[in-house]
Amino acid sequence: MSQERERIDRLLAEGKISAEEAERLRAAMEKSEVGETFEVEHIERPRLSRLAVAGALCLPGALVAGLLTWVLANARCAERLLDDTTGLFVGWAVLLIGIVLSIAALIGIRESQGELKGRGPALFALILQCILLVLMWCSA
């Protein structure tokens, strides 16, 4: 048992596990039967939430989609295929998708019990997308 405790302390010192994970492992080790080997090798670091990445990528995606649609709407050609406000609506749609993805990412990260990380990028994207959505709405 002392070897497993030393392994947990070493993994904690190396930054391979968080303090919460170390406490959880120590508690699980105390519950295990005497003489039973306790495996610590399978511990992995939390992975980045894909929803947080997707939500954060919707921010530049909204800007690019809105600008591209606006450029296409104002292109000098014989027929106007798009209205001037179409770029604004496309930007709104992508921002709304990003807001939904960011909220889903925050919920998923909270309920993952330490298996997922990315709360900062998801929260940053959510706040910035809400601000941009309000600014776009006020400018319309």
Instruction: Tell me which amino acid residue 46 is.
Output: P
Is the CB of residue 61 less than 8 Å from the CB of residue 90? no
pLDDT of 9 > 90? The answer is no
Q: Is 0.85 surpassed by the pTM of this model?
A: no
Q: What is the pLDDT of residue 8?
A: 82
Which H helix or E strand runs over 134? helix 119-139
Per-residue pLDDT at 33:
47
- Gap between the Cα atoms of 104 and 94, Å rounded: 15
For position 62, what pLDDT does the model report? 84
The residue type at 104:
A
Which backbone phi and psi does 117 adopt, to 5 degrees?
-130, 175
Separation CA 106–CA 88 (nearest Å): 27
Please state, in angstroms and rounded to a whole number, the distance separating the CA atoms of residues 10 and 106: 31
Which pLDDT does position 39 carry in this prediction?
56
